[in-house]
Every structure is written in structure tokens, then in C-alpha cells.
């Protein structure tokens, strides 16, 4: 398969979709990003890397960090995470409050904000320096071009009223143990992590490789745990658009409101796309289309 030619072709074909969406602005710092940015990177489990456009520029990974959060949580406490968060698609926006009330403070899954806040709370029981240890974890996944963006983190901390409400609500149900400000601080820092498409593709490869980082041979989680994270990405990675992503693309994936999407083809590769203009569900318009074309033209999907 000539991946480079395919990425070139998809990049050109998807470019004209620019102008159809909006850059996220509910976190004020994110509104500053240039909506024309567009990059794609792919890395195979054998270590071949292909890229095009703004693939080496770092951007705010936002909710893509929820996958690192969950992987680290599972690595530390294993199946205990499922005592406090579910594995069902929510069918609701990523920051929705309504379901939590019906379901008594137990979030539907770890990839909506409420679920990630609970996993963060679990991590705080085990990490002495959560921000440093989260970065070190992602570096272990072979992504070395990574940093926190303190302006983005503070911007979210200062305006994250909905996340604060989610955390407080879950605390009322004893599903948040630490102080809500402490949980919000760690969560917002995770979301503010900046990585490039190349870095994201590299760092997701352990999920394509049964839980082992191909480059180093280090086992991060068990093969079953990797399968489960992929399954949750497929069913919950795009909030109330997870069904459409499975229908169009057919791959486990995770999006973020910074405009990034990473998808995994088990046993083969990880691919990351960045294009900041989002649709009304908070997912990258050109990102979804690029991945749809990639899955269709390669004939690769999990189905
Ligand atoms: N979907 C997202 O990327 C949302 C992440 C963002 N930090 C928030 O909590 O609202």
C-alpha cells in the first residue's frame, strides 16, 4: 500500500471542506487557533511514518487525552475503574449533565467529560505529581514532542462551569473523592496537552499492538485491556456522533475539540488528523471526512 500517495490524495480532496464549521470558542484560548490548519500522520506498527500538511505542528489534544487518562487508570487499578464509570455510549453531548441525574452520578463511559473526571479522581489517589506523571506516561508511549499549554489549561479552569457542575454533582453521589478544584485542575491540564499528528499516531500505536509499544516492546496494558479501550473508542469516542463515525469510518477513534482525531487499525497502524473547524457535535469536519476516505480507499476497518 502506497500510504504517502493516499495521504496526498486525501489531503487535496478534503481541503475544500474548509469554511463549513467553527473553531471551538467556549474555551477562550482555543478560539485563537487558525481554522485552516490541516495535517495528517500515520505510523505503522512496523515503524514506518507518513505525513502531510501541518502534521508536525503541536495542537491542543483536548478530549483525545481521555484515552491516555483511561489507559493510565486501567494500568494502575485495572478493572476497578468500572466500579465508578460505565461502558455504554451516551448518545449525548460530551459535557451533558442530564444523564448523570438519572444514573445517580455514574457516568455512562470514560470518554465523556463526567467519565474522564471520575478517572482523573481515581488517578489522584495514586499519583503524587499528576501533571508530571501524565506527561511521563505519554512519553513512554513514544511521543516525545509534547507539552502542557498553561494558557489553555487556565482558560478552561476559569470558564469550565459545566465541568465544575459535573464534578460537584458526582461528588454529591460520592463518585468524586478529591476536591472538585483539584480534579478540575488535573483534568484541564490533561486536555491542554499539545501534541502533533505525528506524536499522536505514535502514541496510539500500543492500542494497535495489543497493549505493547512496538518501538520499545514495553507492555503498557494487557491485550484484553487494549481491546476494551478500542471497543470503547468505537462506541463512545465521538459522543453523540459515535454511531455516524462507526458507520462512515468503522474504526476505533477519539476526537477532541482542538480539532484532532486519532483512529486505530488493530495490528496495522494508527492515524491522526488535525483540522480545527468542528461540526455542531464538536468533531472535526475535515478530520472525519479524511478518515472516511482513508478507510474506504484502503478497505481497512474493523468490520
Ligand atoms: N470534547 C472535548 O474535547 C472537550 C474537552 C474540553 N476540555 C472540555 O472539557 O470541555
What CATH number should be reported for the domain holding residue 149? 3.40.710.10
Percent share of the chain, pLDDT over 90: 97
User: Which residue of the set 3, 60, 63, 180 is catalytic?
Assistant: 63
User: Which residue of the set 11, 152, 239, 273 is catalytic?
Assistant: 239
Give whole-number Cα distances, 40 to 7, 10, 287, in Å: 7, 9, 9
176 lies in which domain range? 3-298
Pocket test for ligand 1, best of 25, 26, 30, 62 (most atoms within 8 A of CB): 62
For residue 139, the surrounding DSSP H or E stretch is: helix 130-140
Tell me: the pLDDT tens digits for 6-45? 999 999 999 999 999 999 999 999 999 999 999 999 999 9
- Residue 85's nearest CA partner among 65, 99, 75, 98 is 99
Atom number in ligand 1 closest to CA 188: 7
pLDDT at 144 over 90: no
Rounded to the nearest angstrom, the distance between the alpha carbon of 136 and the centre of ligand 1 is 22
Residue 1 pLDDT: 86
Residue 145 pLDDT: 83
Q: What is the SS3 assignment for 40?
A: strand
d(C-alpha 7, C-alpha 277), whole Å? 19
d(C-alpha 54, C-alpha 38), whole Å? 5
Rounded to the nearest angstrom, the distance between the alpha carbon of 123 and the centre of ligand 1 is 18
Residue 290 in contact with residue 11, Cβ under 8 Å? yes
Mean pLDDT of 78-98: 95
Q: How many CB atoms are located within 10 Å of the residue 243 CB?
A: 12
Tell me: the pLDDT tens digits for 216-246? 999 999 999 999 999 999 999 999 999 999 9
Domain membership flag for residue 164: yes
User: Which residue of the set 183, 257, 262, 264 is catalytic?
Assistant: 257
pLDDT at 189 over 90: yes
113 is in an annotated binding site: yes
- Model confidence at 60, pLDDT cuts 50, 70, 90, reads very high
Pocket of ligand 1 (CB under 6 A): 62-63, 94-95, 113, 156, 163, 191, 256-257, 282
Domain membership flag for residue 292: yes
Residue 123 in contact with residue 73, Cβ under 8 Å? yes
Based on the residue annotation, tell me whether 148 is a catalytic residue of this protein.
no
Percent share of the chain, pLDDT over 70: 100
Based on the residue annotation, tell me whether 239 is a catalytic residue of this protein.
yes
Describe the chain by its helix, strand, coil percentages, rounded to 5: 50, 15, 35
Domain membership flag for residue 252: yes
Mean pLDDT of 122-134: 97
Based on the residue annotation, tell me whether 14 is a catalytic residue of this protein.
no
Residue 62 in contact with residue 256, Cβ under 8 Å? yes
Q: Work out the angle at residue 230's Cα, subtended by the Cα atoms of residues 224 and 236, and round it to the nearest 5 degrees.
A: 130
d(C-alpha 167, C-alpha 142), whole Å? 32
SS3 string, 82-105, reads: HHCCCCCCCCCCCCCCHHHHHCCC
pLDDT at 269 over 90: yes
Q: And the C-alpha cell for 166? A: 459535573
Rounded to the nearest angstrom, the distance between the alpha carbon of 275 and the centre of ligand 1 is 16
Domain membership flag for residue 38: yes
Rounded to the nearest angstrom, the distance between the alpha carbon of 297 and the centre of ligand 1 is 31
Give all strands (DSSP E) within 122-259, no chain letters: 146-148, 193-195, 253-255
156 is in an annotated binding site: yes
Residue 143 pLDDT: 78
Residue 166 in contact with residue 100, Cβ under 8 Å? yes
63 is in an annotated binding site: yes
2 is in an annotated binding site: no
d(C-alpha 67, C-alpha 210), whole Å? 15
Based on the residue annotation, tell me whether 257 is a catalytic residue of this protein.
yes
Based on the residue annotation, tell me whether 255 is a catalytic residue of this protein.
no
Instruction: Tell me what ipTM this predicted complex has.
Output: 0.97
| Upper half-sphere CA count for residue 69 (Cβ side, 13 Å) | 34
d(C-alpha 42, C-alpha 57), whole Å? 14
* Burial class of residue 110, CB neighbours in 10 A (0-12, 13-18, 19+): buried
- Model confidence at 127, pLDDT cuts 50, 70, 90, reads very high
Residue nearest to atom 10 of ligand 1 (CA): 95
Domain membership flag for residue 303: no
- What are residue 195's DSSP bridge partners? 59, 146
Atom number in ligand 1 closest to CA 113: 9
Residue 62 pLDDT: 98
Domain count within the chain: 1
Domain membership flag for residue 209: yes
Domain membership flag for residue 223: yes
pLDDT at 142 over 90: no
Domain membership flag for residue 196: yes
Rounded to the nearest angstrom, the distance between the alpha carbon of 62 and the centre of ligand 1 is 5
| Average pLDDT value for the chain | 97
Amino acid at each position: 500500500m502506497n500510504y504517502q500517495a493516499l495521504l496526498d490524495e486525501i489531503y487535496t480532496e478534503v481541503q475544500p471542506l474548509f469554511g463549513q464549521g467553527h473553531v471551538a470558542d467556549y474555551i477562550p484560548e482555543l478560539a485563537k487557533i487558525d481554522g485552516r490548519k490541516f495535517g495528517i500522520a500515520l505510523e505503522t506498527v512496523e515503524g514506518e511514518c507518513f505525513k502531510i500538511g501541518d502534521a508536525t505542528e503541536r495542537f491542543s489534544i483536548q478530549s483525545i487525552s481521555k484515552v491516555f487518562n483511561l489507559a493510565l487508570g486501567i494500568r494502575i487499578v485495572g478493572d476497578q475503574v468500572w466500579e465508578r464509570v460505565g461502558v455504554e455510549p451516551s448518545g449525548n453531548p460530551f459535557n451533558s449533565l442530564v444523564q448523570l441525574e438519572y444514573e445517580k452520578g455514574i457516568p455512562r463511559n470514560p470518554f465523556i467529560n463526567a467519565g474522564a473526571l471520575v478517572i482523573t479522581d481515581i488517578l489522584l489517589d495514586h499519583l503524587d505529581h499528576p501533571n508530571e506523571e501524565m506527561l511521563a506516561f505519554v512519553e513512554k508511549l513514544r511521543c516525545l514532542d509534547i507539552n502542557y499549554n498553561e494558557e489553555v489549561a487556565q482558560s478552561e479552569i476559569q470558564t469550565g462551569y459545566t465541568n465544575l457542575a459535573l464534578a460537584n454533582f458526582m461528588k454529591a453521589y460520592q463518585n468524586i473523592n478529591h476536591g472538585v478544584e483539584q480534579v478540575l485542575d488535573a483534568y484541564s491540564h490533561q486536555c491542554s496537552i499539545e501534541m502533533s499528528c505525528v506524536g499522536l499516531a505514535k502514541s496510539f500505536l500500543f492500542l494497535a499492538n495489543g497493549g505493547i509499544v512496538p518501538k520499545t516492546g514495553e507492555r503498557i496494558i494487557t491485550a484484553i485491556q487494549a481491546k476494551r479501550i478500542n471497543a470503547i473508542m468505537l462506541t463512545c469516542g465521538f459522543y453523540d456522533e459515535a454511531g455516524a463515525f462507526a458507520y462512515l469510518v468503522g474504526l476505533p477513534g477519539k476526537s477532541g475539540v482542538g480539532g484532532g482525531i486519532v483512529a486505530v487499525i488493530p495490528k496495522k497502524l494508527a492515524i491522526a488528523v488535525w483540522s480545527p473547524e468542528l461540526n455542531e457535535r464538536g468533531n472535526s469536519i475535515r478530520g472525519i471526512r479524511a478518515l472516511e476516505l482513508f478507510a474506504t480507499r484502503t478497505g481497512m476497518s474493523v468490520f
